[in-house]
Structure 1
Amino acid sequence: MTDRADRVALTAVVFAVMLAQTLVYPGVDLLAAELGGSGVSAPTLFLSVEFAAFVLFVGGWGALSDSTGRRRPLIVVGALGGAAGYLSLAVLPSLVDLSFVGALAVRGVQGALTVGAFSLAMSALADLEGGNGRNMGAAGIAIGLGTAIGAPVGGRLYEYDVFAPLYLATGLLAVAGVLALLVPDQVPAESDEGGLSALVRGVRERRELAVPYAFAFVDRLTAGFFALVGTLYFREAFGLGPAATGLMLAAFFAPFALLQYPFGVLSDRVGRIVPVSAGSLTFGVAVVAVGLAPSAAWAAVAMVVVGVLGALMAPATLALVVDLAGDTERGLAVAGFNAAGSLGFLAGSLVGGGVAATYGYLAAFGVAGGLEMLVALATLPALLRLGRRTGRTAVFGSGD
């Protein structure tokens, strides 16, 4: 296959994983209740367990891939294992007396497997020629399209059957596993790094990675916030059903998807610093604006703005990680990025849900947007120093 064909296949894998994941968001409270959970804590736990597994296992997948010089077979195992996990969640309640704790355990295993397919497909994209901004823009558009389509489709499926999103997720991950078989490995070289400790060691040895990791954390915190708190807020504040809630989430995810690739290419030209810094400084304000919107229509407009700013930042931030990583540590560096992002998503669900339950939705939007602005301001000096110190065209742009 050519690099273009490989890029399309790997992008499709990332898309399938994200679409499967996002299908459950619009009615996650309904699904959690059907699996035996109750109260606001049930959907929070259901989302959080998956992302806790992401954090715990993504480093192992990346290290194993770098050390063996193989990505394709691991992507296949992760995708097919994730498909089995989704299917188990859908069928086990009708076969055995599955408790909510048991469902959470299955969810954790599903997350541990799915993250392998997701992270290593992104690492395989980074292995391709064509520019890190272009390749990470392709990953970004796959992530964005998966989430943009998954939200409204999942909402419709919930109105048909509460387990329907899980069945579709099963099929999508099975297809992703088959697609991965078509892509040859192009891992640059072998590395002897391994384990979660390698993520910490990697940041210590390349401390500049902490900067894009911080942005990954806070950006995904916002995504986790909208997946849980945003879903509940739109349902309660505006009286929206699952389908309409999915469309509201798509108001963010659609521009986030469609603009990732062009913004990724832009970052190859102008560098990573401007898109990351400019987007992050205004992103938090837009998040707060969603919570202040007086109607569903104005909330949708604010969500579009959030999506545009997110698309400006996301591919440039991930491309910066690839720029800074050594050739033998690319899988681990991308795994670290995904670990930081997954930890952020987990924090967004837990913190956002906790603040909303205790102090109300407006306070929760203020915390989510305020954290984005705080991290942006705190890390901006380091980001600018990084650009001045490296002097890399990959960081500053090619200028052509």
Structure 2
Amino acid sequence: MICRGEGLKIGLRGALSNEVLKRNLVVLGVTSAASTFSISLWQGYLPPYLVTRLGDPVLVGLAFSAYSFVTVLAYVFAGWLGDNYGRKVVIVLNSFVLGLAPVLLMASDGTVLMLAPVLYYWAVTALKPNFNAMVTDDVQPSFRGRALGAFNSMAVSVSAVAFLLSGFQLSKGSVIARSSYDLPSMAPLFMYSAVIVLTIAVARLLFLTETYRPQGGRNDKLRTVLSGVLVPLRRRTLFLPTLAYMLHDAALSLVLFLVPIYADQVVGMPPWLLGAMFAVQTVLLFALQVPFGRIADKRGRTWTIIVSFLLEAVLVVVFILDPNPIYAFVMYALWIGMGQMDAPAQYALLADMTRIEERATVIGGFGAITTLVAIPAPLLGGYLYKGLVAAPFYLCSALLASSATIMIAYRVAFKRAGDADVLL
């Protein structure tokens, strides 16, 4: 239940001084900002980079479907590990794994090349539930939206600079390279990223403080792991949001990996403008995360999520209406910026509905379940894109609208049941 009363009267200033700006939040925020900077040097260009190495958007879609499967496994086990061994252990170990990924992306061997994104998606996904659990463990429910919004803002605060720098670097390299996104062009970005992330892993080892130490023995049974992961489907308060995010994540998985490919092949967007497009996106995320978190705390989790889904459903179609670089630049930034409105509300809702000893497991299970249905989506998106460029974007819009409808039904059901205080 959301606690309402004196806490809400403190306002954002009180939230920042008493709840948000604690040691772990600062350490995670600063290191995540640096990590996001380094990953942003190349992550946005990974799809066209893989196209240059694999040669076919359908194969790239198949690869991203495989990475979705890895994401599910990470969600299943990382949250459980965090609840049984502590948040810090999982965060530190996966930070080191994340640092290895850009090193392997430079491999000439195809098998090693395909392993690199596996490590990347495993580590990034494994970090999420433990980041969010660590941030919310010591924050009062009435401030969780703002705490998560502040953390997300710190995490993306410098990535815009990385996108700009890498975009100009790739544009410069394209003059002498066969492609803007081939290995010679991308290799320096991979090397910079690896050094930064491995340094961050050491910093987290030294400066993070554990927020949750399990009491009693650890439960190592796989059945217990899977049982905890399935809580979002079994619990009445989480079933409909889980269903909505299953459709939401499948919808976005259809198209997000295609955006830089579409920008390169259809729009003819130069690398510097593609980098600037991603940069503006992150500036919007930085500027809007705390206000979005405040909206989630004031107007309600579900209201915020519904508005975000509806905006995404419209903007994903608007994005492809005109294959003009400047138009695509503006519409993409607006689409992704507004689409992130639900991020603080989503994790705040999950935190509201869970106990501290199960929180990371449930958050991880939620991610695993919602990602599970998205596994075939990139492959389907690749096939649809190859046949008709606009097709995956229109299908994405329809699925997002369906997700919003489910969240509306969830909100109405809780109001009728007398549990409106949880959601409003």
- Give TM-score, length-normalised by structure 1: 0.84
The structural deviation recorded for 1:286 is 1.2
The code of the aligned residue for 2:50 comes to A
The structural deviation recorded for 1:287 is 1.0
Is the Cα contact below 8 Å between 1:141 and 1:258 reproduced in 2? yes
Alignment of 1:1-400 (within 5 A): 3-32=21-50, 36-68=53-85, 70-90=86-106, 92-93=107-108, 98=109, 100-130=110-140, 131-142=143-154, 144-145=156-157, 148=160, 151-159=163-171, 160=173, 161-181=185-205, 182-187=207-212, 189-190=214-215, 192=219, 195=222, 197-221=226-250, 223-293=252-322, 295-340=324-369, 342-343=371-372, 346=375, 348-358=377-387, 360-386=388-414, 388-389=416-417, 391=419, 393=421, 395-396=423-424
The structural deviation recorded for 1:50 is 3.4
The code of the aligned residue for 2:22 comes to R
Deviations 1:42-68 (A, max 9, x none): 433444443321211222111011123
The structural deviation recorded for 1:213 is 3.0
Is the Cα contact below 8 Å between 2:278 and 2:333 reproduced in 1? no
The structural deviation recorded for 1:340 is 4.6
The code of the aligned residue for 1:124 comes to M
Deviations 1:212-265 (A, max 9, x none): 334444444455455421111111222112222222234444323320122102
The structural deviation recorded for 1:304 is 3.4
Deviations 1:252-302 (A, max 9, x none): 443233201221022112221211122222320111111113533333332
Q: Distance in 1 between matches of 2:154 and 2:339?
A: 14
Q: Distance in 1 between matches of 2:399 and 2:103?
A: 36
Is the Cα contact below 8 Å between 1:21 and 1:169 reproduced in 2? yes
For the structure 1 residues 77 and 274, does the alpha-carbon distance in structure 2 shift closer, same or farther, using more than 3 Å as the test? same
> Root-mean-square deviation (CA), in Å?
3.1
For the structure 1 residues 288 and 18, does the alpha-carbon distance in structure 2 shift closer, same or farther, using more than 3 Å as the test? same
The structural deviation recorded for 1:77 is 0.7
Q: Distance in 1 between matches of 2:34 and 2:373?
A: 22
For the structure 1 residues 185 and 78, does the alpha-carbon distance in structure 2 shift closer, same or farther, using more than 3 Å as the test? same
The structural deviation recorded for 1:367 is 1.1
Q: Distance in 1 between matches of 2:251 and 2:163?
A: 16
For the structure 1 residues 14 and 272, does the alpha-carbon distance in structure 2 shift closer, same or farther, using more than 3 Å as the test? same
For the structure 1 residues 241 and 64, does the alpha-carbon distance in structure 2 shift closer, same or farther, using more than 3 Å as the test? same
For the structure 1 residues 245 and 2, does the alpha-carbon distance in structure 2 shift closer, same or farther, using more than 3 Å as the test? closer
**In terms of mean alpha carbon deviation, does 298-307 or 386-395 score higher?**
386-395
Is the Cα contact below 8 Å between 1:279 and 1:310 reproduced in 2? yes
Q: Point out the structure with max Rg over C-alpha.
A: 2
Q: Note the residue ranges of structure 1 that are not aligned, 5 or more in a row.
A: none
User: Number of matched residues?
Assistant: 387
Is the Cα contact below 8 Å between 1:25 and 1:151 reproduced in 2? no
Percent identity over paired residues: 19
- Give TM-score, length-normalised by structure 2: 0.80
